[in-house]
Structure 1
Amino acid sequence: MGYRISKVYTGTGDAGTTGMADGQRLAKSHPRIETIGELDMLNSQLGLLLAQLQLQGLTDIFDSLAPYQHLLFDLGGELAMPEYQVLQAAHIQQLETLIDRWAEQLSPLKDFILPGGSVLIAQAHICRCAARTAERRCQLLHEHEPLRAEVLGFINRLSDVFFVAARMIALHEASHEVLWQAQPAPVVSNE
């Protein structure tokens, strides 16, 4: 990419704008900046998940997810510099292949799963939720400034990967998945 940070603070954003790679300044509340921020949040949550996977020795899951942290950063770069187009249809296919490979090892779903069972499972679900938030921001930006289909497909599939990753973690940890149970309707007293 060639663009490097030489100083952490510049003071140029104190008035509520931030600089894009092409020199243009946008409001920090602009949908493009909001989207980049949500991708950064997702990337940070993924970083926490990856660190926990390493600590627990779940190297297969770690090795499968680690490349997506770099691709998320690339996606942020693409939003900052639209001419920088890294994400391709092959990345979406890789996500689908991973989902299918993991799904073959899992029991069929019969109930909704709640985020819990272990810290790692819950963190994978936090990543799933952060991916959905980032996807909504991408869709909002897309309404105003069209994004490439590869961007929208990638971020959509990524949340699915985290859902299946949570199930794979449960399998490897031999943790139970927390299944949703409908609560009975409250009893209404006539008194």
Structure 2
Amino acid sequence: MKIYTKKGDAGETSLFGGTKTKKSNIRIRAYGTVDELNSTIGMVLSYSLSDHGKDILTQVQNDLFVVGATLATPDPEKARIDQVGDTEIEGLEKWIDTLEEDLPPLKSFILPGGGGAGSTLHFARTVCRRAERETVQLSESEEIPADAIIYLNRLSDLLFVLARYENLQGGEKETPWIPER
């Protein structure tokens, strides 16, 4: 099987279920950004991480495939896979709570950065926020499961906390944001 089909050469693509749409469609942008987020997390996994961080991010990557498939399916009733829901969202919350137990409390905003893993996790958080914004925009015109938005919202919080956690594990200092007066 060849990797190229030439079917998208005119700027259209097929959604799950066979419907064709322009590649500029907000649905395509939303699930494309989820794919970008998944690739960014793959970059994070190329760094030295705690075992806990690796386990979390591996599960998140699997969940993001589900979110992407959900967004690529115009009719949620025809989805062929389970969707993210309460179990996955509660899992993100439990990871956040567990990781925060080891972190010093924040006394100010911090600048994104740190070691390779931490700074890339901060970048992943911003990609996640964009995926969330695009998914919200999609939900304004088409029906999508609300849990997809909730999952992305909670995931961005997890990525922030995990960035702090991995920086702490790697001995990287956080840089507070100190506004000039």
> Structure 1 length normalisation: TM-score?
0.88
Within 5 Å, which residues of 2 pair with 1:73-152? 73-81=65-73, 82=76, 83-84=78-79, 85-152=82-149
Which residue identity does 1:99 align to in structure 2? I
Which residue identity does 1:173 align to in structure 2? G
Structure with the bigger RCO (C-alpha within 8 Å, sep 6+) is 2
| 1:18 and 2:13 matched | yes
- Given candidates 19, 24, 43, the residue that maps to 2:38 is 43
SS at match of 1:175: coil
Deviation sequence 1:84-120 (CA, Å, 0-9, x none) = 2421111000000100111111111101011112222
| 1:173 and 2:170 matched | yes
Which residue identity does 2:89 align to in structure 1? I
Partner in structure 1 of residue 4 of structure 2: 9
- Given candidates 28, 43, 50, the residue that maps to 1:33 is 28
Q: Give the aligned CA root-mean-square deviation in angstroms.
A: 1.2
SS at match of 2:13: strand
Structure 2 unpaired stretches of 5+: none
Larger Rg: 1
> Structure 2 length normalisation: TM-score?
0.93
Quick one: distance in 2 between partners of 1:57 and 1:165?
10
Contact 2:167 2:173 in 1 (8 A): yes
TM superposition shift of 1:57 = 4.8
Number of residue pairs aligned between Structure 1 and Structure 2: 176
Quick one: distance in 2 between partners of 1:165 and 1:93?
16
Moved more, 115-124 or 97-106: 115-124
Structure 1 unpaired stretches of 5+: 1-5, 185-191
SS at match of 2:8: coil
Partner in structure 2 of residue 63 of structure 1: 55
Cα pair distance change 1:34/1:100, threshold 3 Å: same
Which residue identity does 2:177 align to in structure 1? W
TM superposition shift of 1:51 = 1.7
Quick one: distance in 2 between partners of 1:26 and 1:70?
26
SS at match of 1:97: helix
Identity %: 38
Quick one: distance in 1 between partners of 2:104 and 2:58?
25
